[in-house]
Structures are given as C-alpha cells and as structure tokens.
C-alpha cells in the first residue's frame, strides 16, 4: 500500500469512529458533569496507560477551562502505594473509596473494557451509588460496558483508534460545557 493511501484510509477510519457516537449520549455525559458541578461534586477520571493520559488531559481541561473540579490518579506514589498494599487489580477501587464524595461523578476509561482494576473501580462506584460513565472499545459485550449509567463504546480493536476516539468524545463534552456555560441549567 502506498504511504499516502495508508494515511487516507487511517484518517477516514478515525473520522468514522468519531462519528459513530449518538450525540445524545455526549449530551447525557455533559448533563451529568453539569449536575455534579451544581451539587458541588467533582469529576473523578481514571484509566490505565494511554487512557490514564486521557484522564489527566480531561481533568486539567475540566478544571482550568470549564471551571469544574476534576481529579485523576496518575501520581506514581499513589499508584505504587495502593498497588503494593491492595494489589494492582484493587488500586482503583481503593482510590475511589478514599477520595470520592457523595456528589461526585466517576468516569472510567479502558480501551478493552476488561481491565480488572477499572472493573473493580466501577463496582466500587456502583456500591457507593456514584454516577458512572464508562468508555471502552474492542468487544461489544466487554464487562465494563454493562456497568455504567452511560457507556460509550468504540467499535474497534485498535488501541489508537479507541483511545483517540475516547479523547475526542470527552474533549467535545468539555468544549460543549464551555461553549454553553457549565453552570447553565
């Protein structure tokens, strides 16, 4: 395949992936974020690897640009401490247990939807009755996809397609909130 054809096909596939979401789903996410803001809660974003980078990016944009409190757990000391003390598969649930308050919103990101630590975090969010948004890809019936109040799924098994799509969808929510004023009803 010619190099230029590769990139043409790649960007067409990425565009189709971005477009695969029902905009009403993104509006529901924005509504949950806005409700969290009004109830003086915070947004908790968690992922692994590239998804952790997305969580970090989103927490900064929500806090700085949209003026909505948001946190992520990408600090090496916290990750290694909680992983050492509770096991890697339990660090997310423990972080939620220690840091979540009753009016918070949890957003969990896992490309495969099968990461044990993220699934355990989703169970903890459900147990303490926090609203939960999940983002996943790969298999349509992945475990994470069935756990949230809102579940955004990318029909791809390519990590970069899934992660790029998750990031664009979430950034579009931030831009929507900024454009429409996050404090509007």
β-partners of residue 133 are 107, 150
Tell me the domain boundaries of the chain: 3-180
Determine the straight-line distance between the first and last CA of the chain, rounded to whole angstroms: 51
pLDDT given for residue 185 in this prediction: 45
- Which has the closest alpha carbon to 107: 169, 174, 43? 43
What is the tens place of the pLDDT at every residue in 52-100?
999 999 999 999 999 999 999 999 999 999 999 999 999 999 999 999 9
pLDDT given for residue 171 in this prediction: 98
Is the pTM of the predicted complex or chain greater than 0.75? yes
CATH number of 3-180: 3.40.50.10490
What is the tens place of the pLDDT at every residue in 122-169?
999 999 999 999 999 999 999 999 999 999 999 999 999 999 999 999
- Which has the closest alpha carbon to 89: 115, 124, 52? 115
């Amino acid at each position: 395949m010619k190099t230029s054809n590769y990139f043409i096909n790649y960007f067409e596939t990425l565009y189709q992936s971005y477009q695969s979401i029902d905009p009403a789903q993104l509006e529901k996410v924005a509504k949950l974020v806005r409700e969290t803001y009004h109830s003086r809660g915070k947004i908790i974003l968690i992922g692994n690897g590239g998804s952790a980078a997305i969580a970090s990016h989103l927490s900064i944009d929500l806090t700085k640009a949209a003026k909505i409190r948001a946190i992520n757990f990408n600090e090496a000391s916290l990750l290694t401490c909680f992983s050492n003390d509770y096991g890697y598969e339990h660090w997310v649930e423990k972080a939620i247990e220690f840091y979540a308050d009753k009016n918070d919103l949890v957003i969990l990101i896992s490309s495969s939807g099968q990461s044990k630590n993220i699934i355990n975090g989703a169970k903890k969010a459900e147990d303490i009755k926090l609203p939960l948004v999940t983002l996943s890809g790969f298999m349509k019936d992945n475990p994470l996809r069935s756990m949230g109040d809102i579940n955004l799924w990318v029909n791809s098994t390519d990590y970069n397609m899934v992660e790029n799509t998750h990031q664009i969808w979430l950034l579009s929510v931030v831009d929507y909130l900024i454009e429409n004023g996050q404090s509007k009803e």
